[in-house]
Structure 1
Amino acid sequence: MFFRWLQAKPHIGVNRLIKHLHKHGVPSAIASNSRTKNVDFKLSSQKGWKEYFSVILGGDQVKSGKPSPDLFLEAANKLDVDPSCCLVLEDSVLGIKAGKAASMQVVVVPSIQSDTDEFSIADYVIHSFLDFQPELWGLPPFDDRVMKALPIEPFHLKGTYKNGFLQENSDNGESDLPGQVWGVFFGWVDFDSQKSFKIVVSISWDSSCGSFSRNIQACFINGSDEQTFDQPIEVALVGYIRGFCTKGSPSADFPILDQDKSIAEACLNLTAYCYH
């Protein structure tokens, strides 16, 4: 179990948000149902996280864990702020209920592979931390977009391109993509033939068969699709353009727009989006 914690990676966009809040002096806390020693152990694998948070609380430090409000109320107390002035970022139904019971505003970033209506009790639902807008909650806005897109820490996937879609191929049969990757991204493609191309992908979910699976549309910018047909490719995604405007299920078809292609092509000529 401890080994899995050390190998665990934060959701895409979380590091960006934590560093942004710390840079602007916004006090923040971690409030987890896990025991404090386990929380500390998890945080030790994430560089700088212990210094970024003013308060770190485990479930053994309060009478009742989530969905009781005790953890969030104790966090507010230690931060010396009124609970009504706090914003909770959660990914679980238990956490949403705890935040609302504490009279706090709650933004939820749920697991994409869920259509439960229980998430609707949150004040706001987003499908990726990359879509979080601090200014909506009275916080300093992000200022790190470059040419209408956001440089991100590269993440990778392997797959086979066919008929405008990318079918993932992984060594262990599981997706290489983080669970909350959702939206329009762009990056670089390497082929077995040693050629490199620019690519735009639209990543969403498909639940039409009763279970959730990745739906990855792909469009090559500076190469012929026929050159890549049914070939194994490796993709490094380095930029994020947008999420999808939907208040319903994330399991829908979201096409790549001409504007997305134009933004990606311009950005991939900049050093901010280089990848080696």
Structure 2
Amino acid sequence: MNGDAAVSAVILDMDGTLLNTELLTKDVLKDLLARYGKEVDYKKEGMRLGVTHKESRIAIIKDYDLPISPEQFTEEIMPMYREKWLLAQALPGANRLIKHLHSKKVPFALASNSITKNVEAKVSHQPGWSKYFSIVLGSDQVKSGKPSPDIFLEAANRMGVNAACCLVIEDSLTGVKAGKAAGMKVVAVPSLPSESNDFSVADIVLHSLLELQPEVWGLPPFEDWVDGALPIEPIYFRGLYRNGLLHEFAGDGASGLPDQVFGFYFGWAKDESSNILKILMSVKWDGGSCSLKKVINICLVDGSNEATSDQDMQIMLVGYIGRQSNKENSASEKELLEENKVIAKGALDSSAFTNHSSTRSFL
């Protein structure tokens, strides 16, 4: 654990950290700008991730030379956002973490750069969250939003703990900077994988909340692993299977595979002939010359060595094994793959996972 003070409380960001709202709403600005004959600059918008709406709307109007006032911009875009928020789902590991902190009586708070009424609306759409989150802070409750430390300091104050004893979990660089400015320890889980290298200011950078190890920070450890495998809330998506690779079909943000899914997972696949296959899936990001590309490998856990190529597959992931290996040689990768296939097969045949098999449903 970094630093001298022991962690005794946790502060969570919402959008892109707990909820898939970042992916879900990525085309909202594009749709609004289209009304004015403008095209969105995704690189520029990525740099605005985590900034308050009040601040970003002024910059957007200026950058795209929009003939509207900040107030008109808000009136036009907010209904579009609210419609998407209704579809928001918890990101992998979010519910697990919230329930764990609650059951272990670890104080935790929600601190978002959105205004409070929008934060509360999103919380109300998630089963149980209104009960779990007794402290919900929006940027309108403090003098300045992130990257100012105000909202995190206020969260610590309301929990009755010293700022140095707080662990912040954030997806944006803006939020990470705010947490460090507050003198807190910070875990970064970037919602944009391409920006992972920019988070050196954080104490640790993870690909997803499933990688979080509370005991590293002096908090109670998770106790839900079963023989090297972690049961997860089912993740559904579709893709074209071809020669061991799965080419994901573009989802609507609610049904697609979250970018925070990384490493080794297992579950079931349903092919075009309605065959149900036990699978091990690995997800990694391949850095090309200009951008990162998601690479999804699928292999069968038992049965034939290869599924028929060029198949539309429906995927249901029910377990997580771990992140990709840092080892680069192919022999080590093959060994890891074989080890994980054994873990996946054992898990899918065990009582901890068979409850999914009787209620399997696919998109």
Corresponding position of 2:246: 166
Contact residue 112 and residue 127 of structure 1 kept, 8 A: no
Q: Which SS does the other structure have where 1:115 is aligned?
A: helix
Instruction: Select the structure of larger CA radius of gyration.
Output: 2
Q: 1:224 aligns with which of 288, 300, 304?
A: 304
CA displacement at 1:48 relative to structure 2: 1.3
Whole-Å Cα distance in 1 between the matches of residues 305 and 209 of structure 2? 32
Number of residue-to-residue matches in the alignment: 269
Whole-Å Cα distance in 2 between the matches of residues 226 and 131 of structure 1? 30
CA displacement at 1:169 relative to structure 2: 2.7
Q: Which SS does the other structure have where 2:321 is aligned?
A: strand
Q: Which SS does the other structure have where 1:130 is aligned?
A: helix
| 1:26-65 to 2 correspondences below 5 Å | 26-65=106-145
Whole-Å Cα distance in 2 between the matches of residues 200 and 244 of structure 1? 13
Using the TM superposition, name which of 254-263 and 169-178 deviates more.
169-178
Corresponding position of 2:236: 156
Whole-Å Cα distance in 1 between the matches of residues 264 and 170 of structure 2? 23
Q: Which SS does the other structure have where 2:86 is aligned?
A: helix
Corresponding position of 2:260: 180
Whole-Å Cα distance in 1 between the matches of residues 346 and 282 of structure 2? 18
Contact residue 11 and residue 179 of structure 1 kept, 8 A: no
Corresponding position of 1:234: 314
Choose between structure 1 and 2: higher strand proportion: 1
Q: Which SS does the other structure have where 1:198 is aligned?
A: strand
CA displacement at 1:43 relative to structure 2: 0.7
Whole-Å Cα distance in 2 between the matches of residues 212 and 176 of structure 1? 18
Contact residue 202 and residue 216 of structure 1 kept, 8 A: yes
Q: 1:205 aligns with which of 282, 285, 289?
A: 285
Q: 2:161 aligns with which of 74, 78, 81?
A: 81
Whole-Å Cα distance in 2 between the matches of residues 18 and 48 of structure 1? 10
Encode CA deviations 1:117-151: one digit per residue, 9 max, x unaligned. 43110011111100000001111000001121001
Contact residue 54 and residue 79 of structure 1 kept, 8 A: no
CA displacement at 1:232 relative to structure 2: 1.7
CA displacement at 1:82 relative to structure 2: 0.5
Runs of 5+ unmatched residues, structure 1: 247-253
Contact residue 33 and residue 66 of structure 1 kept, 8 A: yes
CA separation of 1:173/1:7 partners in 2, compared to 1, >3 Å: closer, same or farther?
closer
Whole-Å Cα distance in 1 between the matches of residues 117 and 252 of structure 2? 31
Identical amino acids, percent of aligned pairs: 52
CA displacement at 1:112 relative to structure 2: 4.3
Whole-Å Cα distance in 1 between the matches of residues 126 and 254 of structure 2? 23
1:132 is aligned to 2:212 = yes
Structure 1 counterpart of 2:181, which letter?
A
TM-score by length of 2: 0.70
Q: 1:106 aligns with which of 167, 181, 186?
A: 186
CA displacement at 1:17 relative to structure 2: 0.2
CA displacement at 1:77 relative to structure 2: 0.6
Corresponding position of 1:90: 170
CA displacement at 1:35 relative to structure 2: 0.8
Whole-Å Cα distance in 2 between the matches of residues 170 and 146 of structure 1? 33
Using the TM superposition, name which of 74-83 and 106-115 deviates more.
106-115
Q: Which SS does the other structure have where 1:121 is aligned?
A: coil
Structure 2 counterpart of 1:45, which letter?
H
